[in-house]
Chains A and B, each alone.
Chain A
């Protein structure tokens, strides 16, 4: 079902956009949950991904553990370092994606630093991701300026290109990044790295507004979001809410069950309050 047979037809269908639009049709923002592949094991990542989808997540972001994760805080660094120490290989991310997409309707994206993709070959990586039913890539250290190979490969295989925009992005860069993106635009809520924070910076609202103004149809907010109250706040102005570190803590402390219950709780914040 998910195998891309006709690249031409695939270009029309963004899986991420469809998932966000389904949530929108229900009068709510989309919930996007992040899990690092291979933490604590590949099997548990798949089980936790399915639990995410069954408990309210619309999109799932699977991170590839990488030796030099400059945009990640301590919790995710510790998890991905452990996955690598236990022998995780990049190709296993396709097993994780296939394991989740074969059991759920959630759109499954891969979040990866760029060098593992370069090493496999951008074209080959894209082909295998599409074959596994993946929706696309979130690329924290790839900007559109350097993405010509990825633009071509993602067009060919019908994959979403989720680039990041930040509070520091100039209007020109905002426009360029929005135009290069497909599926949604990832708005970084704060100048910093991943990790739970007690409050979401007010900068997030401005970044989302700027991305919308630059023409983005769907803007999702990540970095620092860890509880239902924060989800509720962001759901008031963004198209989706991305939760990472809190889920990594949950799977580390309480396994798949903890992921399920946290997701259920987070999803209570999604419904937009009356204006």
Chain B
């Protein structure tokens, strides 16, 4: 922690400052929390501090316990399906300035996204703490499904909080969670969105903390969650780094990921934070356009504040009330962001940029048609960003003209099966009289 408290260059600082920072021998890869620069911490009710202390203690001991790390490795290999592939996307790359594009295939993991890495780790910790029940929040249902999966595997009771509107729109994911033995509780208070699902999960945790672990789904929240969730996702970056070296013999020029709370991003960034030659990009949800106010571009447009236990960038009004976010992607539709990302933005190590719904959906369709891979709409934000980055690299290569030697790595954080109804509606593929059209516009009615 101490070495990360050094004076950091301010946001927007030039690259030489970041290079100096990295070349000064400061590792950015293993920031332990609770603070990331001035971000992070524990802005939480006292009632929960004992549980956070217990979790931190259990996590620190587990990390140092070969039995635990062997359990994680075994589950990753034989249950989640790791290592995930690294696939070169040659036809897609033609639309990204002609650079080489590689996809880290988290979409091929069990349950269809990177989320499984974190839930397996936290469910094991819950067992170590002797807790018999896990609770989770979910937006569209991906983390809820992953939590229900881990709970089923390990014999834990599972309760998932989900906004009532999301329950209606994602009735099939509610059914998935229930098939896996979880109880889904629709949240009808506040704005009935993901942030309210987190609020309700925290209320449950306060009341049931003796037997309950809060299985938070992203690298946000109070310490130790941001550093702990990153730890469980570090495998993404470590695998990707080894795979790209094996396949190309060198490091990528750029790494791209989408950012909601930021767990898939911090996982892949981890592998490259200490490599000054690798530029790193996080793509936030620009929604209908940042100028419309209907977006989820927290770092691009938010201001530092405290929400859900951490100090970080936050979408808020002049009174400090949280502003509702908007994105076509439920997984990015959150008005906060993990504190480590806020720090990496301020020191200039990672560039954060918004991608609109429209840009993301164009990239979504492009990947389907050029590579035969249907990406999650979340991941499509990273793909759209990679296209921009590739085109910039090509423009810079200009006269020397060798963009084809440049490498862009994209974290394909999840598969798009869950998004087919949304995409079909977006691209107007549905007969107006079909039940599918009704599902896309009105939600699933089970």
Which residue numbers of A lie inside 8 Å of B, CB to CB?
Answer: 66-71, 73-74, 77-78, 81, 84, 89-90, 114-120, 140-143, 145-146, 163-170, 173, 177, 188, 191-193
Contact = CB atoms under 8 A, between A and B. Distances in A.
Given A69-B199, A81-B189, A146-B42, A168 B321 contact: no
A12 B208 CA distance: 40
Interface in B193-209: 195-196, 199, 202-203, 206-209
14 contacts: A67-B190, A68-B199, A70-B45, A70-B203, A78-B189, A114-B306, A116-B321, A118-B320, A143-B44, A145-B42, A166-B46, A168-B51, A191-B47, A191-B209
A237 to B, nearest CB: 20
Contact of B46 (A84, A117, A169): A169
Closest 9 CB pairs of A and B: A119-B320, A116-B320, A166-B47, A168-B50, A192-B207, A115-B320, A67-B322, A67-B321, A90-B319
A90 B318 CA distance: 9
B190 A68 contact: yes
B185 interface: no
A119 B305 contact: yes
A163 B46 CA distance: 9
Interface of B is mostly: mixed
Contacts of B307: 68, 115
Interface string B353-391: 000000000000000000000000000000000000000
Contacts of B308: 68, 70
A177 B48 CA distance: 14
Given A115-B306, A191-B206, A193-B203, A168 B47 contact: yes
Q: Which of B202, B207, B316, B321 has the most CB of A within 10 A?
A: B321
Contacts of A90: 319-320
Contacts of A142: 43
B49 interface: yes
A68 B49 contact: no
A89 B47 CA distance: 28
A144 B115 CA distance: 34
Interface string B165-207: 0000000000000000000000001110001100100110011
B287 interface: no
A71 B305 contact: no
A65 to B, nearest CB: 8
Contacts of A191: 47, 206-210
B140 interface: no
Contacts of A169: 46, 49-50
Contacts of B41: 145-146
B203 A168 contact: no
A173 B209 contact: no
Interface in B320-349: 320-322
Nearest to B48: A168
B80 interface: no
Nearest to A125: B320
Nearest to B200: A70
A119 B50 contact: no
Given A119-B318, A143-B43, 4 more contacts: A90-B320, A164-B47, A165-B46, A191-B209
B314 interface: yes
Nearest to B196: A68
Contact of B45 (A71, A89, A119, A120): A71
Interface in B113-135: none
Contacts of B190: 67-68, 77, 81
A68 B195 contact: yes
Given A68-B307, A89-B319, A118-B320, A141 B43 contact: yes
A80 to B, nearest CB: 10
Interface in B46-63: 46-51, 53
Contacts of B306: 114-115, 118, 141
A185 to B, nearest CB: 10
A118 B47 CA distance: 22
B83 to A, nearest CB: 38
Nearest to B34: A145
Contacts of B42: 143, 145-146
Nearest to B53: A170
A167 B46 CA distance: 10
A191 B46 CA distance: 10
Contacts of A141: 43-45, 306
Contacts of B322: 67-68, 115
A152 B407 CA distance: 51
Contacts of A164: 45-47
A71 B45 CA distance: 7
B319 A119 contact: yes
B435 to A, nearest CB: 36
A166 B45 CA distance: 9
Interface in B97-155: none
Contacts of B50: 166, 168-170, 173
A167 B209 CA distance: 11
A70 B320 contact: no
A166 B51 CA distance: 12
A121 to B, nearest CB: 10
Contacts of A74: 189
Q: Which of B46, B49, B203 has the most CB of A within 10 A?
A: B46
Contacts of A145: 41-42
Contacts of B49: 143, 168-169, 173
Nearest to B323: A67
A69 B322 CA distance: 11
Contacts of B209: 168, 191
Nearest to A173: B49
Contact of A114 (B43, B199, B203, B208): B43
A120 B320 contact: yes
A144 to B, nearest CB: 9
